[in-house]
A and B are shown apart, each in its own frame.
Chain A
């Protein structure tokens, strides 16, 4: 967004970036760290490497946003005034929200892979593990990259197969939703994947607490799931300073208009990516597609023009299925994922909602696209911000 703005912002505007981190993480890469496909050096680069010259860069923790006085208060007492604020502070895991999760067993027998620290420690644990019950678990929705837990289960099955340990490992997928796949077309076409891979699904499981000593998850109805190694996606929350600013929802997400990306907090605050509460997927591709409409709306706001109510919830995600294959899904607020070819109708080369090696190559190639194109403010080749219906088998949807 900063790189977009540096090019398009009128000359009488100053651009300041506040980033609480010095190092930028390629977060889609966390998924591959536990299996040794990527190491830390693949997914880390200094933030400063990507900043536009025009922007002033401040690397400090944020105390809060004083929306009534248009100020961002930083640690150390500095107060930064603004005319226009874009919130892009994402989401993070909050294991402390579930009793028994963030205790003495954290990163010992209970792991996450949504942080670099968690992913690296899980890698070591998997390398040393001799087998048993591996439980992959979603605490509650919404979560960043909702397909990542499923990908983790698939990649784990593939990882243990390659190590000759399939007969020693039992993988269970535990979800608060009514299945591993929740959309009708995806359930129909992909439901067999879990069965084929021997992954058991425990649906409708809302964890109340974890008994780390007895190694079991307990839900609100008293159901229990036992594990030897638990890989969980804890509750996801927006940044703590949002709560201190007094305008987030129950999970610190910023109330935001889903079509314009203007916040419902105050007219001069806009929001992008996982920090919003819009009903789109919390996926990196969504933030990327939001960028275009946000840029347009910021320009309109500066000129006092009406905002464009045009963001359609577009998401485009590769889903790793293990054994060197992946799926691709493309969807928005109103269109669920269906099968087809992408991005060129009838040609591909990628296949929607169907496993292929080409999709897997696409996922790995995406790291290069991210570091070299997206982060510098360029577009994904051939993929527009608004979802296209071309090449899709829309007749699969019967309601």
Chain B
């Protein structure tokens, strides 16, 4: 379905995740972050960029993988995106929610 985020028409799924990364912009990210109760600061952006790059390379993400990335450690990841870091950071980065097969 289509909706408007930060003045831009974007496609999202019923869980509020962008379905096309091309719709993503820093303004869209800022608005999505606000919905998650997060105000984006300088230290959030390298993490979002890392997640997007991994997604583009089609690798599956996990908290531990992010923790080993050298971009942020796990505690830092929780501090930036409290209460479900991978789920929230993925949504703000415009990539799909981490999921299992069922």
Chain A interface (Cβ within 8 Å of chain B)?
97, 140-142, 146-147, 150, 176-178, 181-184, 186, 190, 204, 206, 208, 220-221, 235, 249-251, 255, 258, 277-279, 281, 283, 315, 317, 319, 329, 331, 337, 398-399
Contact = CB atoms under 8 A, between A and B. Distances in A.
A20 B55 CA distance: 33
Interface stretch (B26-34, B42-50, B93-101): B93-101
B102 A221 contact: no
Given A220-B78, A250-B65, A182 B100 contact: yes
Interface residues of B, number: 28
Interface of B: 1, 13-15, 19, 57-60, 62-65, 68-69, 74-75, 78, 82-84, 87, 97-102
Contacts of A279: 58-60
A278 B60 CA distance: 8
Contact of A337 (B60, B75, B84, B102): B102
Contacts of A331: 101
Contacts of B58: 258, 278-279
B78 A146 contact: no
Given A220-B78, A399-B13, A399-B14, A141 B60 contact: yes
B58 to A, nearest CB: 5
A315 B101 CA distance: 9
Contacts of A337: 101-102
A113 B68 CA distance: 27
B102 A142 contact: no
Given A147-B101, A329-B102, A399-B19, A204 B87 contact: yes
Nearest to B17: A399
Contacts of A221: 78, 82-83
A204 B101 contact: no
A257 to B, nearest CB: 9
Residue among A141, A181, A255, A315 with most chain B CB within 10 A = A141
A277 to B, nearest CB: 6
B27 to A, nearest CB: 23
Given A204-B83, A315-B101, 9 more contacts: A140-B64, A147-B100, A178-B97, A181-B100, A204-B84, A250-B64, A255-B57, A277-B60, A279-B59
A183 B98 contact: no
Contacts of B69: 250
Contacts of B1: 399
Residue among A208, A235, A399 with most chain B CB within 10 A = A399
Residue among A177, A186, A277 with most chain B CB within 10 A = A177
Nearest to A331: B101
Given A204-B87, A258-B58, A279-B60, A177 B99 contact: yes
B64 A235 contact: yes
A249 B59 contact: yes
B75 A220 contact: yes
Contacts of B14: 184, 398-399
Given A184-B14, A278-B58, A220 B84 contact: no
Contacts of B84: 178, 204
A208 B77 CA distance: 13
A2 to B, nearest CB: 27
A142 B15 contact: no
A176 B101 contact: no
Contacts of A142: 60, 62
Given A204-B84, A399-B1, A183 B62 contact: no
Contacts of A150: 102
B60 A206 contact: no
B9 to A, nearest CB: 16
A146 B102 CA distance: 8
